[in-house]
Amino acid sequence: MRLNKYLSKSGIASRRESDTLIQMGTTEVNGLLCLDPAYQVEETDIILYDGKRIKPEINKIVLMLNKPPKIITTVKDTHGRRTVLDIIATSSRVVPIGRLDQDTTGLLLLTNDGDLHQHLTHPKNSIPKDYELEIEGRINDVQVKKITRGVYIGDKEYGRAEVLDQETNKGRSKLILRLRHGKKREIRRLMYRIKVKLFNLRRTNYAGLKLGSLKEGEYRKLTDNEIKKLWDAG
């Protein structure tokens, strides 16, 4: 097993994030610093992360959090800001599946299952995620077509979303968009490019799972059936 996968299966971070962590000098193999994410871990190897021995998690869990605003979606923050892991109380090392930016609220999944993490974040699986937006005015048919077809959002990237619903009341609209890939701050960049003022952004649905009655700052463990639904998505 590659070292980055070993860290992922141990609940440290995603495989991609594990690459960076390993190259930052966080990981030792048999008492020696290892900077190679592709190192092949043997059964007899002793792996330390930040000075503590780690092993792949046997008991897999997936948590659903209703993320509040002003909370960072990361494993650790170098600026001392509160992260989603400061909210979660569990003996298992869990990591966020994807990210919500600091000001975005709503449904965030966390897990110690590296394989599920990989399944849900790999672009080829196109996992659907729904967002509720509060915007100024109303997007018109031309803007809807642009969003559906794809809009250049900078940094050599195109943003794209399905428009599922739009309700307008007193000069503001509630807009429901569906993403299937999710680039960094994609919805905010999309709205900026089509010149729409965005007031609030909240994720409400992930691969068919919904927040339900979960309040901001609360979290719960997913059932086996819900986890199966995640595996079947895409």
- Asked if residues 162 and 175 have their Cβ atoms less than 8 Å apart, the reply is no
Q: Residues 222, 228, 229, 231: what is their CA dihedral angle, to the nearest 10 degrees?
A: 110
pLDDT at 58 over 80: no
Residue of 132, 117, 46 lying closest to 75 (CA atoms): 117
Confidence class of residue 164 from pLDDT cuts 50, 70 and 90? very high
Confidence class of residue 231 from pLDDT cuts 50, 70 and 90? very high
- For the chain, list the domains and their CATH numbers: 3-53 (3.10.290.10), 62-123+209-232 (3.30.70.580), 128-206 (3.30.2350.10)
Q: What is the mean pLDDT of residues 183-191?
A: 94
User: pLDDT tens for residues 64-117?
Assistant: 999 999 999 887 777 778 899 899 988 778 889 989 999 999 999 999 888 898
Q: How far apart are CA 14 and CA 117, in angstroms?
A: 7
Secondary structure tally for the chain: helices H, strands E: 6, 15
Beta strands in the chain (DSSP E): 27-29, 32-33, 47-49, 52-53, 62-67, 95-96, 105-111, 129-136, 151-154, 157-159, 162-169, 172-179, 198-206, 209-210, 219-221
Least confident of 91-95, 108-112, 142-146, 190-194: 91-95
Four-residue CA torsion sign, 119, 122, 128, 131? positive
pLDDT at 234 over 80: no
pLDDT at 136 over 90: yes
Residue holding tokens 């991609």? 16
pLDDT at site 182: 78
* Residue 84 in tokens: 């989603």
Specify the 3-state DSSP secondary structure of 34: coil
pLDDT at 8 over 90: no
**Mean pLDDT across the chain:** 92
Give the DSSP H or E segment for 157: strand 157-159
pLDDT at site 89: 85
Q: What angle (nearest 5°) sits at the alpha carbon of residue 173, between those of residues 108 and 157?
A: 55
* Residue 183 in tokens: 């680039």
pLDDT at site 114: 83
Q: What is the mean pLDDT of residues 143-166?
A: 95
pLDDT at 221 over 80: yes
Residue of 88, 92, 81 lying closest to 108 (CA atoms): 88
Residues designated as active site: 101
Q: What is the mean pLDDT of residues 215-220?
A: 96
Q: How far apart are CA 59 and CA 62, in angstroms?
A: 10
Confidence class of residue 145 from pLDDT cuts 50, 70 and 90? very high
